Structure 1
Amino acid sequence: MIETFNTGETQETLRNDYNPDGSVLRRAQLRLLDMAIYLQETAKKIGVPCRLDGGNVLGALRHGGFIPWDDDIDMVVSQKDFKRLCDYLKAHPHPQYVLQDNDTDPGFYKEWACLRDLKSENRSHEANNSENRHVHEAQKYRGLHIDIFPYEGYMIPWLQHLAAKLSVNVNLKFAGRHPILAQISYKFLHHIVFPSFRWIGRIFGNPDLYMHSYGAWFYEQNPRRCMIPHKDIVFEGYTFEGPADPDELCRIAYGNYMDLPPKDKRDRHKVDVIFK
């Protein structure tokens, strides 16, 4: 029996409309899938639990893989393991993929890292004077990417909102326009402010409240029981690590996640992908 979504669409019609075989989007998705396989294999090799996050968990449950209109993969690791994974990826470079953080790319001011593809390029079609365009063009590496986010317990939600606002402002106001000020601000937040927030969280925070680490631009609050231990999840026919309770994780983030959003609410990234 063919599953029909609330909009009357099926998996087949979605594939035909958004990411048919051979399309640029499908090629991008398959490149990202290769990168995710490499990233998880590397993490397992050094004993770092690394799992799919966000819309990829939703996609795995609802579509068996990518959300048809999405060109994104997010993965998360524990904050205590984040630096070890990043350091290993930088010390053992892949011939086609590079770990992007502020060490490898001085124009990158985020509190997470990216695994970037060197044989593709995201070309923004945001307005030339837009803040997002300046953020994009400040970066050395602009290929297809997987975001690698640290997450942790003992979080204090209002402090995370403040941390995210500070990080967003450094990126949107300074990146590509005031590089020296951007670098100084990033270092101050990264080495002094956010560690201080983490120290406060260890005293006053809830050990069972998990969020993306301070400075990430996400605010979902998840109970420990739905985050760890990781549980296998199938994505595009491959087995990845996923959250302990993917259903609860998706309900917290998306509500009734098995329903499709209206067509005009389907978020498509404002970039064109060029393959080299």
Structure 2
Amino acid sequence: MTKIFNTGETSESLRAEYNPDGGTLRRAQLRMLEMAIYLQETAKKIGVPCRLDGGNVLGALRHGGFIPWDDDIDMVVERKYFKQLCDYLKAHPHEQFVLQDNSTDPGFYKEWACLRDLKSENLSHDIENSADRRMHEAQRFRGLHVDIFPYEGKMIPWLQHFAAKLSVNVNLKFAGRFPRLAQAAYNILHYVVFPVFRSIGKLFGNPELYMHSYGAWFYEQNPRRCMIPHKDIVFEGYTFEGPADADELCRIAYGNYMELPPRDKRDRHKVDVMFYD
């Protein structure tokens, strides 16, 4: 039976409008799906719990996979496993996918990592010399990507907001303009400031409150019970690890998430994709 959404649209009409088979967006989604499967299999092989996050969890529940207009995949790992996973991916490189962090890409100053595709490239539509354009072009790897975010408990929300603003400013103000200053600022934040914030959190933070780790540009506050242990979730016909309570996680982040947003509220990233294979 055809599913009809609150807007009167159906799954078939959404696919035809946003991500038809063979179109650029659908090709990009399928490439990122391939990357996410590889990442999940690798994490399982080394015993690291790694799961889908954010809009991909929403998409799994509402659409059975990608939100039709979505062009990214987010995965999260508890911070205690984050370095282990990143180190393994760097030590055992894939022929087409590369782990991107500050050690593999000196123009990448974020507090998370990406798995990047070497056979595609995101082309930015941002205004030339804009901060977003400079930040994008400062990176060595610009292909389709799967974000890998660390998260942890005992977080202090206002301190995470402050940490994120510090990291955002380093990326937007220095990346692509002042590489030495950007690297110095990243090092100070990554190796000094954020560890101090984490130590404060261990003393005063709520052990039942989970957030993205200090310096990530996301602020959702989730109770531990909806984060772990992971439970299986089906995304694009494949079984991935998902949150302990996908429904609660989506309600916290999106409210009545089973309803489609109005057309003018559908977040579409300003990039084109070029494929090299």
| Both structures adopt the same fold (TM-score exceeding 0.5) | yes
State the match for 2:106 in structure 1.
Answer: 106
Query: Aligned residue for 1:140?
Result: 140
- Deviation digits for residues 178-216 of structure 1, max 9, x if unmatched? 100000000000000001000000000000000000000
Which residue of structure 2 lines up, in the alignment, with residue 95 of structure 1? Answer: 95
Q: Deviations over 1:1-28 (max 9, x none)?
A: 2211111101000000000000000000
Aligned to 2:51: 51
Q: Which residue of 1 aligns with 2:197?
A: 197
What is the SS of the residue equivalent to 1:128?
A: coil
In percent, how many aligned pairs have the same letter? 82
Tell me the alpha carbon deviations over residues 46-81 of structure 1, each in whole angstroms, 9 at most, x when there is no partner: 000000000000000000000000110000000000
Residue number in structure 2 paired with 1:178: 178
After superposition, what is the alpha-carbon deviation per residue over 1:74-114, rounded to whole angstroms, capped at 9, x for unaligned? Answer: 00000000000000000000000000000000000000000
Return 5+ residue gaps in structure 1 as ranges. none
Report whether the alignment pairs 1:156 with 2:194.
no
| Partner SS state of residue 240, structure 1 | strand
SS in 1 for 2:129: coil
Give the aligned residue type for 2:120: S
Q: CA deviation at 1:130?
A: 1.1
AA aligned opposite 2:2: I
Aligned residue in 1 for 2:225: 225
Structure 2 equivalent of residue 167 of structure 1 = 167
Number of equivalenced pairs? 276
Which AA in structure 2 matches 1:137?
E
Q: Which amino acid aligns with 2:247?
A: D
AA partner of residue 100 (structure 2): Q
The secondary structure found in structure 2 opposite 1:232 is strand
Q: Show the counterpart of 2:214.
A: 214
Matches of 2:60 and 2:132 in 1, distance apart? 29
* Runs of 4+ that moved beyond 6 A: none
Q: Which amino acid aligns with 1:143?
A: G
Q: Residue in 2 aligned with 1:16?
A: 16
Q: How many Å separate the matches in 2 of 1:192 and 1:44?
A: 31
| Structure 2: distance between partners of 1:27 and 1:56 | 17
Match of 1:6 in 2: 6
TM-score, structure 2 as length reference: 0.99
Query: Aligned runs of 1:23-38 on 2, under 5 Å?
Result: 23-38=23-38
Letter in 2 for 1:238: Y
Cα RMSD after superposing both structures: 0.4
1:84 alignment partner in structure 2: 84
Deviation at 1:129, TM superposition (A): 1.8
